[in-house]
Amino acid sequence: MSLPDRPLPTLRDVANAAEVSVGTASKVLSGASGVSEARAQRVWDAARRLGYRRNGIAADLRRGRPSSIGFVLPDLTNQFFVDIARALENHALEHGYRLIMAHADEDPAREMERIRFVMSGQVAGMIIIPCRGYEHAIDEVRECNVPLVMADRVDDSFPADTVTTDSHAATFDGTVHLIGLGHKRITFLVNTLDLVNSRERADGYVDAMKRAGLDSYIRVVECGMTAAEIHASTLDVLSNALRPTALFAGGNVTTLGALRAIRDAELRLPEDISLLSFDDAPWMSVLRPYLSSIRQPVEAIGHAIWQLMLKLLNGERNAPVHLSFKAELLVRESTAAAPAVQAVLDGA
């Protein structure tokens, strides 16, 4: 390569070259005031000439206040989390913070390890979307007294700031929509009931069914975290003699798995079966029929998380705040009236 491993110039080098003291150079380069025009210019020149780069890490160390934020998320495969990551990344960088991302891959052990590791990099705050069984992991953060905001897979009982979607309301509404279409045998597909928000989603469905007097039709099936597992479980559901006339998929990935199963079972959407998806995604728009779905306000959520974090960063430590956002039901083409034949067979 071209250059020998000449070490990067330091603040001292710049100061020497500019013939000022380190203190003065520091003031100039960190944008503080109180230095004469002339010397400031000399410093800038020297810095440019030497190709000086400020060592942000050393500055952090000295200041005792890091400028990185840790962000741990459970699954990069899930568009919803990625969207949040994207929003956070923007907010953070806008405010002069680096975002250190780590992904737990839905594995609690790994999550714990990653949280520790990220925190060893001295972060000013942590934002976490947990995976199941996260309690220990969170303790780590709290013990360190690091500002913490949790999102999505938490409930209001959590002793830290949280931002969530009102899952119960969302699935309640969705289920009402399905019922309004004449469906009775509605099956709710959920990844796992170990997750608070998944539980809430299931509850919303259950409550709506009950309110409609459809108690005996309630079916909640846990079908796993991966598309493959979900595919299998759904196939199972569909092969049942009395198969449901509508499927309510409890999330992004679940929808994908369910869709594959529907395809494999050679069922027509929505003539044979209706499908409602919790979580919206760009690709849903190119499906025929266009998927009906529930859209979480990702941008708003990302923004809220960041606002909460900012407050914490500024030292405002009040009682934990729990923000909840309303999701939007997008009725499109994959949810239609229940098949007439089935209604007859039901003898209802």
Partner DNA sequence: CTGTTAGCGCCTTCAC
Partner DNA sequence: GTGAAGGCGCTAACAG
User: Interacting stretch for DNA, rule CB under 7 A, among 6-14, 71-79, 153-161, 199-207?
Assistant: 6-14
Residue at token pair 């007097």: 213
CA–CA distance, 82 with 4 (Å, rounded to integer): 40
Binding a second copy (rule: CB under 8 A), the pick from 72, 150, 189, 259 is 259
The tokens for 81 are 């989390």
Nearer to DNA, 20 or 246 (CB): 20
Nearer to a second copy, 170 or 281 (CB): 281
Q: Is 20 in the site for DNA (CB under 7 A)?
A: yes
258: enclosing H helix or E strand: helix 252-264
Of the candidates 186, 182, 158, the residue with the CA atom closest to the CA atom of residue 172: 186
Q: Is 330 in the site for a second copy (CB under 8 A)?
A: no
Nearer to DNA, 20 or 126 (CB): 20
Give the count of residues interacting with a second copy (CB under 8 A). 55
Does residue 51 contact residue 66 with C-beta atoms inside 8 Å? no
Q: Is 36 in the site for DNA (CB under 7 A)?
A: yes
- We find the least distance from the C-beta atom of residue 12 to DNA, in angstroms, to be 6
Residues 6 or more apart whose Cβ sits within 8 Å of residue 184: 214, 217, 245, 338, 343, 346, 348
CA–CA distance, 86 with 301 (Å, rounded to integer): 12
Q: Is 22 in the site for DNA (CB under 7 A)?
A: yes
- We find the least distance from the C-beta atom of residue 131 to a second copy, in angstroms, to be 15
CA–CA distance, 340 with 200 (Å, rounded to integer): 31
The tokens for 26 are 């520091």
Nearer to DNA, 63 or 136 (CB): 63
348 touches which of DNA, a second copy, none (CB within 5 to 8 A by kind)? Answer: none
Nearer to DNA, 122 or 307 (CB): 122
- Which residues within the stretch 62-121 sit at the binding site for DNA (CB under 7 A)? 62-64
Binding a second copy (rule: CB under 8 A), the pick from 22, 101, 218, 343 is 101
The tokens for 267 are 């069922």
Q: Is 303 in the site for a second copy (CB under 8 A)?
A: no
Nearer to a second copy, 182 or 289 (CB): 289
User: Interacting stretch for DNA, rule CB under 7 A, among 29-37, 133-141, 214-222, 267-275?
Assistant: 29-37
Q: Is 232 in the site for a second copy (CB under 8 A)?
A: no
Q: Is 7 in the site for DNA (CB under 7 A)?
A: yes
Nearer to DNA, 64 or 96 (CB): 64
CA–CA distance, 187 with 169 (Å, rounded to integer): 17
Q: Is 225 in the site for a second copy (CB under 8 A)?
A: no
Query: First-to-last CA distance in the chain?
Result: 80
Q: Is 61 in the site for DNA (CB under 7 A)?
A: yes
Contacting residues toward DNA, per CB under 7 A: 7-8, 10-12, 19-24, 26-27, 29-30, 32, 34-36, 38-40, 53-55, 58-59, 61-64
Contacting residues toward a second copy, per CB under 8 A: 1, 3, 5-6, 8, 51, 53-58, 60-61, 66, 68, 76-77, 82-83, 85-86, 89-90, 93, 98-103, 105, 114, 117-122, 143-145, 227, 256, 259-260, 263, 281-283, 285-288, 317
